[in-house]
Structure formats: structure tokens, C-alpha cells
């Protein structure tokens, strides 16, 4: 059972502009989400296919699914890496997942994300449609405008202006809608965003030009109006696409296990949503399952993995009377829990409160674009109005001339390049980082990442993979390892599996051990050459417990210890070296015991480390650093890191992290390799520099063109040149990103 | 200059055809999966006969 399984819909909500991210809401699944999960799925199924990448994949998957009785049709979408299946209600997603597994494709159900996925598409299609229309008009109007600029006179010019008007005005009305709507929405709450001057310029340019056309004047700005529309929509569309890609990948990442608990009612098993489980119920948790509730073990013995909650890398013994918390993983034996707290009262929910507090304490980040707009918007309006006032006075009340000048000022200063400056860079940078295995979830994450000067790492699951590695293989005689391997392969305990794997890698053939039996919570025992052999806890094998992670074998003369160390995540050393080279301060904070943390810190040359930290202490550390003026990048994966992730200036979590941690973080590390983090900070700094340069470039064009407009010698040709040249320069500059 | 009365409508109509084609492609969701479509032409499944 997953703690925060069905978060896909919220996850998507979070990504929408204007909606506050709320990791607190997803630490515990909401009642609505539970209700939605309980509904029977409709005839349409959506599966995520993370491994699909080629033409052969498409036909294999589609043929395999077509072979399932009851399936009407299926179509793979390679861009989104998912397949949608039209099928009878009798066909279930697990059934299809099984079929795909047989032909070699990993698949995950995406049912909850279905609705919002189509919603996203609609928005993107809508923008693309408006962009296409603006492009068509821009080309045609430009064609006619070039004729006017090159000297069309009299009736010909008027005719060209009329045709331009017939094309441009409907286009501005249709394609300009996203700007008009957003400007209106901003106006209603009393805020002048970037969209207000844009809308004003669009409306003014079209109406002035129409007026000039009626009066058969010389200058019409129809081309400028549609060109504005086109370039600004392009920026908007790039922005949308970056977010849409991040969103669909985040959906794929969401583990979609259903948050249900197996409740024992009069000895019979009943599966219920967690929201309906009450204190006092008996809940069964099978080996490999996650505790859905807080409780006390009433029956059975096992070991539990608390790493995601506390960061402890070693499994902990759980017998009758042991208190367990929701989110821990049951490893070896079935357990029956008496529920002490479920839903709102569980420890999970208390964690959620911590996240909510951290989230609300975080100051809102003002993006470069927002800051630029806040200077730019008033300045443009002021200039345009003063030009109008001055020319009214200078010409002795020639309204037509004065309005023409102020419109020209608005059109020339209109932020074509400003609108492209940030989206073009973000698109280039996030594409680059995506290929390196980093997914930027949040629009402002790049800018925030660029400011980071302190990096705080979690240990278990972040710097280490959470999988143990045998360290003293060569200390043991071959025969001993053969026995140990035989015993180890009978258990699903992480240490046993690591031992069996190491033995296999060295070509050890397991000895013949009979009557293998796993004693939950203790270890494995069996009969080898007539004597009982055991592999497991120190006490159970009459061995002296060492202070490092170890499992013990008693066979023959004396017990033997197999010691383990947590395996480093690939690229961890590279990433830390790169961050150090960039002059960043590195800290390690873990909930694990001191020995393990000190060992890892020494291996990675991290001087500054804290062991045994509680979730609240992690948040406190991040907050103290922030108060001391540091910009903190938090890298963590566990539920115990979630609040710290939310509190940090910017945060990264690996794809293997819990949903709640991934939702709280701004960037997700898709692959196993961590080396990309070093690149990410470098690329982020470079990207921010490009953004600033882009603002500089568009300002430079304005510095040249605005005086021309103010003295009244700007022609539509000058406006068109300034606009297109600045937009192109800005886009090219974005592509320089290395 | 009379040639304009032919050329302008022609250019507008050609452009319009392009626009209509674009809108049609948009409405029939042909821009939803560019990567998939680029790969689908390489599939050999319906090389000898069209898909029913």
C-alpha cells in the first residue's frame, strides 16, 4: 500500500499556473481522491509506458493489447510514452499490465490522470490554433505591407490597407484572446501585468490603423499588430509546452497503488479504503506491503524498513507489541496490526502538518520576468501618455497625430522580445536538462537553482541507493559463502538479497541446504550436511553483534559476520565534486545512526554532517540556513525530508522517492545517476545569465527605437524591423546555451 | 497593375487553403504525437495492404 498513491490529479493541479503548490495536501490522500479511486473504471484505460521508444515498440504493444479479448482499439502515444485503450468494462488495467509485461514492457496504470491529461491537450491545442492563425495573417499582411512600404500610393495603398484590415482585425480578435482575458483578470484584481500593455497595444494598433485606413492615411500598423500576436503567442506556447511535458512525466512517475487496507472482520479479509479504517480495527499487512495506518503489532513477527520515514538504513525488528507507523514497509513476515490511528490522526498526517507549515513560511519567489514587468509596465504607459500629452500641446490639439505617436510608442516598446526572453531560455535549458535526466517541474525552479550557495543532502535513498552492498566477501572461505548464499537466496530481506547477489556475481554455486525456512524477524534456517545452519540476527545465531550493518551465519565452528555498507548512488561523487568546485557549501543531514552517516561523509569528503535528525530538525536546519541568508538546495527522497524539501529555496528528489517528496520538490532526478545535479546548477546559472542578456537585448532595441517613436519619425517599417529583429536575436541567444 | 486583382485573391486563397489544412490537422489531433507519427511510417505491419 502506498501512502500517497493516487496523487496524480493533485500533482497536475499543482503544476497549473496560479495555483499554489501544496505538498501538504498530498502527503495524505484526500477523501475525494479516495472516493474517485473507488469508482469503477470506464471503458477507456490509459497506461504509462516508460520504456517505449521506437517503431517496433508501437507495433509490439498495440499487437499485444489487441490480442486481449474485449479490447476494441489501442493507440500508443510515443511523445507522452503512454497507450490509451478502448475496451469493454470487463478488461482491467492489471490484466493489460500483465500482458505487456509478458512482451517485455513495463507499464503503469494512469486512470486518475486521464481527465486532466485531455484537459492539458485542449489548452495546448487551443494555443497552437491561435498561433497558426496569427502566423497565416502575419505572412499575408506582411506581403501587403511590403508593397506599401516600397511605395504603393493612393488607391492601391488604400486597397492594401483595407485587405490588411480584413485579415488583421479578425486575427487580433481571435488570437489575442489569451492576452485580453489575462489582462482583464489582472485588471479586476487591480494589478497591471505584462498582459495589459500587450492588450492595449493590440487594441490601439488595430483601431488606429482602421481609423487611418478609413481616412486613407499613410501609416497603418496592421502588420505590427499581428506580428505582436504571433511572437507573444509563440512565447506563451513554448511556456505551455515546457510545463505540459513536465506534467505528463510527473504523471508517469506517480506510483498508482491504491491506498486500501486489508481489514480483518470476524477473521475474514475485507479490502477497504483507508478513509474507512478506524482505530481498533485489525489490519493485515503482507510482506512487501506498506503499512497503511499507525498501529501496534497484534500478531506475527517481521522486520520493517523505516528508511523512507526516518532515514534509517537498517531494517528494524517488529514483533507483538511493536509500534509501527504508516509508510513503513513490512519485509519478511505477515503482520496483523491493531490500528491506533488512521487518516487524520496518523503520524503521516502530522508530517503533513509540518509540510504545510514549512510551505506557508516560504516566501514567494518573484521571477525575473515578473520583476522586469513591474518596472516595464508603468514606464511604457507613462511614456506613451507623456508622448500623447506633449504632442497635443506641441501641435495645438491635433488628436489624430498625438494618438498616432502614442500608439507607435506602445507598439515599439511592446514586449515581443520580453515575452520570448524567458520562455525561449527555459525551453532550451529544460530540454537540455531533460536529456541529462532531470525534469524541471516548476517554472521558476531554474532561476532559483541558479542562486543556490548551500546544498543539503539526505543520506538514505538519496546519496545512497538504499540497497546494501557486501563489504567483506574475501574474508570468508568459499564453503562458508556457499552455505550463506543458499540460505540468503531463500529470503526477501534486503541484506540476504544483497548477499545472494554478491555470491552470484562471484560465481559461487550455492550449497545444498534442505528444509529452508524463514523465521520472520530473525532470519533463515535450514539443514546442511545434517546440521542446522542459520543466517540472520546476531542474537539468533549466538554471535557477537558488530556496530556495523551485518548479518550472521552460524554453521560449524564459529559464527561469521557478513558486513554491509549502503551502496553509493552512481554519480554521487561526481556531483559532490562538481558542486564543491562551484564553491557551494555541502551538508549532509540524515535520520540514520551516527556510524553509518560518518562513514558515508568520510567516503564523500563531506565535513559538515548531522546524524539522527528528526523531520522537524531537518526543517529547522534548512530554515536556520535560510535565515542566515543562505540559498539552500535540498536533495532528499523520504517522507522525513518532505517538509525540508518544501522549506528549501529549491529542491530535488530522485524518481524513486515517495510521491509526497516528489510533489514537494521542484526538480525530479529521473535516472539513477546523480552526476546531473552538478550540471544542473551550472546550466541554471547559465540560463539565468541568458535571460538577463535577453532583457538587455530587448531593452537595447527599445533604446534605439523609442526616441524615434517619441519624436514622431517611427514608421510601421521601423516598428516591424525592431520587433522581428529583437525577437530573433533573443531566440538565438537562448540557443547558445551549452 | 490589373494583375493585382488576380494575384492578391490567388495569394489569399492559397494561404487560406494552408490555414484550413492546418485547422483540419489540428482538429483531427494530428499534432498530439509527433514522435509516434515519425516512427509509425517505419512500421512494416501494413506494407502490403492498407489497415482495415
Write the DSSP string, A277-342: --TT-EEEE-TTPBP-SEEEEEE--EEEE-HHHH---S-EEE-TT-EE-TT-EE-SS-EEEEEEE-
Predicted confidence band of residue A38 (pLDDT cuts 50, 70, 90): very low
Q: Do B15 and A54 touch (CB under 8 A)?
A: no
Q: How close, in Å, is residue A41 to chain B by CA atoms?
A: 24
Which range among A102-111, A617-626, A655-664 has the greatest average pLDDT? A617-626
Strand partners, A525: A517, A534
Q: What average pLDDT does this structure show over A138-159?
A: 86
Gap between the Cα atoms of A365 and A250, Å rounded: 22
Q: Which residues of A touch B1 (CB under 8 A)?
A: 156
Residue-level length of chain A: 738
CB count in 10 Å sphere of residue A540: 16
Asked if residue A365 has pLDDT above 80, the reply is no
Beta strands in A9-130 (DSSP E): 44-48, 71-77, 82-87, 108-109
Predicted confidence band of residue A19 (pLDDT cuts 50, 70, 90): very low
Gap between the Cα atoms of B52 and B44, Å rounded: 15
Q: How close, in Å, is residue A731 to chain B by CA atoms?
A: 23
Q: Do B22 and A125 touch (CB under 8 A)?
A: no
Q: Which residues of B touch A125 (CB under 8 A)?
A: 26, 29, 31
Q: What is the CA radius of gyration of chain B?
A: 18
Upper half-sphere CA count for residue A158 (Cβ side, 13 Å) = 7
Q: What is the 3-state secondary structure (H, E, C) of A564-596?
A: EEEEECCCHHHHHHHHHHCCCEEEEECCCCHHH
User: Where are the CATH 3.30.70.100 domain residues in chain A?
Assistant: 8-118
Task: Output the furthest CA–CA distance in chain A (Å, rounded).
Answer: 115
Do residues A410 and A200 lie in contact, with contact meaning Cβ atoms separated by under 8 Å? yes
Nearest to A79 among B8, B23, B36 (CB): B36
Cell numbers for A139, please give them: 505572412
Among A159, A166, A153, A164, CA closest to A222: A164
Do residues A562 and A499 lie in contact, with contact meaning Cβ atoms separated by under 8 Å? yes
Domain A8-118 has CATH 3.10.450.50: no
Upper half-sphere CA count for residue A711 (Cβ side, 13 Å) = 5
What pLDDT score was predicted for residue A134?
93
Measured between CA atoms, the residue of chain A closest to residue B41 is A55
Do residues A690 and A423 lie in contact, with contact meaning Cβ atoms separated by under 8 Å? no
Nearest to A132 among B12, B26, B34 (CB): B26
Among A200, A407, A16, CA closest to A192: A200
Q: Which of the pair, A4 or B14, is modelled with greater confidence? A: B14
Q: Do A136 and B19 touch (CB under 8 A)?
A: yes
Asked if residue A676 has pLDDT above 70, the reply is yes
Predicted confidence band of residue A564 (pLDDT cuts 50, 70, 90): confident
Gap between the Cα atoms of A569 and A466, Å rounded: 9
What pLDDT score was predicted for residue A174?
93
CB count in 10 Å sphere of residue A220: 29
Q: Do A129 and B8 touch (CB under 8 A)?
A: no
In tens, the pLDDT along A295-345 reads: 888 888 888 877 766 667 677 788 888 888 877 778 777 888 888 877 666
In tens, the pLDDT along A231-245 reads: 888 888 888 877 776
Measured between CA atoms, the residue of chain A closest to residue B38 is A55
Worst-scoring range by mean pLDDT, A167-176, A256-265, A277-286? Answer: A256-265
Among A241, A230, A242, CA closest to A131: A230
Q: Which CATH number fits domain A430-465+569-685: 3.40.47.10, 3.40.50.300, 3.40.30.10, 3.40.50.1000?
A: 3.40.50.1000
Class of domain A467-567: alpha beta
What pLDDT score was predicted for residue A673?
79
- Residue position matching grid coordinates 531533460: A434
Asked if residue A32 has pLDDT above 50, the reply is no
Q: What is the 3-state secondary structure (H, E, C) of A205-272?
A: HHHHHHHHHHCCCCCCCHHHHHHHHHHHHHHHHHHHHHHHHHHHHHHHHCCCCCCEEEEEECCEEEEE
Gap between the Cα atoms of A313 and A335, Å rounded: 21
Among A455, A352, A18, A372, CA closest to A197: A372
Do residues A580 and A586 lie in contact, with contact meaning Cβ atoms separated by under 8 Å? yes
Q: What average pLDDT does this structure show over A116-145?
A: 81
In tens, the pLDDT along B1-51 reads: 678 788 888 988 998 999 999 989 888 878 777 778 888 888 877 778 877
Predicted confidence band of residue A353 (pLDDT cuts 50, 70, 90): low
Domain A260-351 has CATH 3.90.1150.60: no
Asked if residue A398 has pLDDT above 70, the reply is yes
Do residues A562 and A555 lie in contact, with contact meaning Cβ atoms separated by under 8 Å? no
- Residue position matching grid coordinates 517505419: B42
The residues, ordered by sequence, that sit 6+ positions from A422 with a Cβ below 8 Å of its Cβ are: A235, A239, A367, A368, A369, A691, A694
Asked if residue A213 has pLDDT above 80, the reply is yes
Q: Do B43 and A133 touch (CB under 8 A)?
A: no
Task: Give the DSSP H or E segment for B34.
Answer: helix B34-40
User: Where are the CATH 3.40.1110.10 domain residues in chain A?
Assistant: 467-567
Cell numbers for A69, please give them: 479479448
What pLDDT score was predicted for residue A256?
35
Q: Which residues of A touch B23 (CB under 8 A)?
A: 129, 132
- Residue position matching grid coordinates 547558445: A736
Q: Do A59 and B36 touch (CB under 8 A)?
A: no
Q: What is the residue-averaged pLDDT of chain A? A: 78
Between vectors from CA A305 to CA A303 and to CA A311, what angle results, nearest 5°? 145
In tens, the pLDDT along A466-512 reads: 777 887 877 788 778 888 888 887 777 778 878 888 888 787 777 88
Q: What average pLDDT does this structure show over A103-107?
A: 79
Rounded alpha-carbon distances, angstroms, from residue A602 to A201, A548, A606, A646, A661: 61, 15, 6, 28, 27
Q: Which residues of A touch B22 (CB under 8 A)?
A: 132, 136
Do residues A638 and A661 lie in contact, with contact meaning Cβ atoms separated by under 8 Å? yes
Q: Which residues of B touch A128 (CB under 8 A)?
A: 26, 31
A335-341 vs A294-299, strand pairing mode: antiparallel
For an interface test with B, the pick among A136, A160, A245 (most B C-beta atoms closer than 10 Å) comes out as A136
Sign (positive or negative) of CA dihedral A677, A681, A686, A689: positive
The active-site residue, picked from A458, A637, A641, A659, is A458
Q: Do B8 and A121 touch (CB under 8 A)?
A: no
User: Where are the CATH 2.70.150.10 domain residues in chain A?
Assistant: 260-351
Gap between the Cα atoms of B13 and A619, Å rounded: 64
Cell numbers for A307, please give them: 528508511
Measured between CA atoms, the residue of chain B closest to residue A133 is B19
Asked if residue A629 has pLDDT above 80, the reply is yes
- Residue position matching grid coordinates 545465531: A541
- Work out the percent of chain A whose per-residue pLDDT is above 70: 82
Do residues A632 and A611 lie in contact, with contact meaning Cβ atoms separated by under 8 Å? no
Rounded alpha-carbon distances, angstroms, from residue A336 to A280, A330, A345, A569: 12, 11, 20, 34
What pLDDT score was predicted for residue A172?
93
Cell numbers for B49, please give them: 495492404
Q: Which residues of B touch A78 (CB under 8 A)?
A: 33, 35-36, 39
Size of interface A-B (CB pairs under 8 A): 55
Q: How close, in Å, is residue A152 to chain B by CA atoms?
A: 11
Among A367, A598, A582, A592, CA closest to A454: A582
Q: Which residues of B touch A (CB under 8 A)?
A: 1, 4, 8, 11-12, 15-16, 18-19, 22-23, 26, 29, 31-36, 39-40, 42-43, 45
Q: Do B26 and A55 touch (CB under 8 A)?
A: no
Q: Which residues of B touch A163 (CB under 8 A)?
A: 8, 12
Q: How close, in Å, is residue B15 to chain A by CA atoms?
A: 7
Predicted confidence band of residue A25 (pLDDT cuts 50, 70, 90): very low
Q: Do B33 and A79 touch (CB under 8 A)?
A: yes
Measured between CA atoms, the residue of chain A closest to residue B16 is A136
Count Cβ neighbours within 10 Å for each residue of A632-658 and write b for 16 or more, e otherwise: bbbbbbbbbbbbbbbbbbbbbbbbbbb
For residue A458, indicate whether it is catalytic: yes
- Residue position matching grid coordinates 490484466: A95
In tens, the pLDDT along A52-91 reads: 777 888 888 888 888 888 888 888 887 767 788 888 877 7
Q: Which residues of B touch A76 (CB under 8 A)?
A: 36
The DSSP symbol for A95 reads H
Gap between the Cα atoms of A327 and A313, Å rounded: 15
Q: How close, in Å, is residue A434 to chain B by CA atoms?
A: 16
Do residues A301 and A321 lie in contact, with contact meaning Cβ atoms separated by under 8 Å? no
Q: What average pLDDT does this structure show over A175-200?
A: 84
Amino acid at each position: 500500500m502506498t501512502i500517497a498513491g493516487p496523487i496524480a490529479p493533485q500533482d497536475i493541479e499543482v503544476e497549473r499556473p496560479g495555483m499554489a503548490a501544496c505538498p501538504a495536501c498530498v502527503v495524505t490522500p484526500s477523501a475525494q481522491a479516495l472516493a474517485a479511486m473507488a469508482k469503477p473504471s470506464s471503458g477507456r484505460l490509459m497506461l504509462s509506458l516508460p520504456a517505449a521508444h521506437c517503431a517496433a515498440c508501437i507495433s509490439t504493444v498495440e499487437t499485444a493489447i489487441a490480442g486481449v479479448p474485449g479490447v476494441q482499439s489501442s493507440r500508443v502515444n510515443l511523445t507522452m510514452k503512454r497507450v490509451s485503450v478502448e475496451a469493454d468494462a470487463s478488461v482491467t488495467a492489471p490484466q493489460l499490465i500483465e500482458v505487456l509485461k509478458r512482451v517485455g514492457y513495463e507499464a503503469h496504470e494512469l486512470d486518475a490522470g486521464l481527465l486532466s491529461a485531455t484537459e492539458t491537450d485542449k489548452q495546448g491545442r487551443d494555443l497552437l490554433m491561435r498561433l497558426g492563425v496569427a502566423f497565416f495573417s502575419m505572412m499575408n499582411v506582411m506581403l501587403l505591407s511590403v508593397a506599401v512600404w516600397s511605395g504603393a500610393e493612393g488607391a492601391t495603398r488604400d486597397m492594401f490597407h483595407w485587405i490588411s484590415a480584413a485579415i488583421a482585425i479578425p486575427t487580433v480578435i481571435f488570437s489575442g484572446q489569451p492576452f485580453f482575458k489575462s489582462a482583464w483578470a489582472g485588471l479586476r484584481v487591480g494589478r497591471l501585468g505584462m498582459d495589459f500593455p500587450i492588450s492595449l497595444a493590440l487594441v490601439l494598433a488595430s483601431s488606429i490603423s482602421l481609423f487611418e485606413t478609413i481616412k486613407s492615411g499613410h501609416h497603418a500598423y496592421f502588420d505590427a499588430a499581428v506580428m505582436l500576436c504571433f511572437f507573444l503567442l509563440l512565447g506563451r506556447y513554448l511556456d505551455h509546452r515546457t510545463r505540459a511535458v513536465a506534467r505528463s512525466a510527473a504523471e508517469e512517475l506517480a506510483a498508482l497503488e491504491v491506498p486500501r487496507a486489508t481489514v480483518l472482520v470476524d477473521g475474514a479479509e475485507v479490502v477497504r479504503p483507508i478513509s474507512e479504517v478506524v482505530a481498533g480495527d485489525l489490519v493485515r499487512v503482507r510482506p512487501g506491503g506498506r503499512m497503511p495506518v499507525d498501529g501496534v503489532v497484534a500478531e506475527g513477527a517481521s522486520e520493517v524498513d523505516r528508511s523512507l520515514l526516518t532515514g534509517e538504513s537498517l531494517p528494524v525488528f517488529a514483533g507483538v507489541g511493536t509500534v509501527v507507523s504508516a509508510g513503513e514497509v513490512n519485509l519478511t513476515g505477515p503482520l496483523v496490526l491493531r490500528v491506533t490511528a488512521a487518516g487524520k490522526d496518523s503520524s503521516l498526517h502530522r508530517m503533513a502538518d509540518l509540510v504545510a507549515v514549512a510551505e506557508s513560511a516560504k516566501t514567494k519567489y518573484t521571477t525575473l520576468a515578473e520583476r522586469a514587468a513591474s518596472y516595464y509596465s508603468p514606464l511604457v504607459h507613462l511614456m506613451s501618455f507623456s508622448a500623447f500629452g506633449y504632442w497635443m500641446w506641441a501641435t495645438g490639439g491635433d488628436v489624430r497625430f498625438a494618438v498616432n505617436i502614442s500608439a507607435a510608442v506602445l507598439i515599439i516598446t511592446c514586449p515581443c522580445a520580453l515575452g520570448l526572453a524567458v520562455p525561449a531560455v527555459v525551453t532550451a535549458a529544460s530540454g537540455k536538462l531533460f536529456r541529462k535526466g532531470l525534469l524541471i517541474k516548476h517554472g521558476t525552479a531554474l532561476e532559483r537553482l541558479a542562486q543556490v550557495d548551500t546544498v543539503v543532502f539526505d543520506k538514505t535513498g538519496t546519496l545512497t541507493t538504499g540497497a546494501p552492498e557486501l563489504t567483506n566477501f574475501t574474508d570468508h572461505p568459499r564453503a562458508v559463502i556457499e552455505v550463506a548464499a543458499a540460505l540468503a537466496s531463500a529470503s526477501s530481506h534486503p541484506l540476504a538479497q544483497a548477499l545472494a547477489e554478491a555470491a552470484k556475481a562471484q560465481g559461487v554455486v550455492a550449497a545444498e541446504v534442505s528444509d529452508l525456512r524463514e523465521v520472520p524477524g530473525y532470519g533463515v534456517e535450514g539443514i546442511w550436511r545434517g546440521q542446522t545452519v542459520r543466517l540472520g540476527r546476531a542474537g539468533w545465531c549466538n554471535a557477537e553483534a558488530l556496530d556495523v550493518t551485518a548479518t550472521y551465519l552460524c554453521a560449524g565452528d564459529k559464527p561469521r559476520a557478513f558486513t554491509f555498507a549502503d551502496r553509493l548512488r552512481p554519480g554521487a561523487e561526481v556531483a559532490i565534486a562538481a558542486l564543491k568546485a562551484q564553491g557551494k557549501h555541502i551538508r549532509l543531514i540524515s535520520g540514520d545512526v551516527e556510524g553509518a552517516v560518518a562513514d558515508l561523509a568520510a567516503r564523500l569528503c563531506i565535513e559538515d554532517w548531522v546524524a539522527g535528525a528528526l523531520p522537524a530538525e531537518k526543517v529547522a536546519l534548512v530554515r536556520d540556513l535560510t535565515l542566515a541568508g543562505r540559498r539552500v538546495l535540498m536533495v532528499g527522497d523520504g517522507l522525513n525530508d518532505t517538509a525540508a524539501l518544501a522549506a528549501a529555496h529549491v529542491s530535488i528528489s530522485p524518481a524513486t522517492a515517495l510521491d509526497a517528496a516528489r510533489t514537494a520538490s521542484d526538480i525530479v532526478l529521473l535516472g539513477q545517476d546523480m552526476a546531473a545535479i552538478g550540471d544542473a546548477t551550472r546550466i541554471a546559472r547559465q540560463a539565468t545569465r541568458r535571460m538577463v542578456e535577453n532583457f538587455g537585448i530587448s531593452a537595447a532595441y527599445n533604446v534605439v527605437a523609442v526616441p524615434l517613436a517619441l519624436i514622431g519619425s517611427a514608421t510601421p517599417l521601423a516598428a516591424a524591423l525592431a520587433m522581428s529583429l529583437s525577437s530573433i536575436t533573443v531566440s538565438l541567444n537562448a540557443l547558445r546555451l551549452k | 497593375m490589373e494583375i493585382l486583382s488576380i494575384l492578391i485573391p490567388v495569394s489569399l486563397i492559397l494561404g487560406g487553403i494552408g490555414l484550413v489544412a492546418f485547422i483540419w490537422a489540428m482538429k483531427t489531433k494530428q499534432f498530439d504525437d509527433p514522435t509516434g507519427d515519425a516512427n509509425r511510417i517505419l512500421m512494416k505491419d501494413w506494407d502490403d495492404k492498407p489497415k482495415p
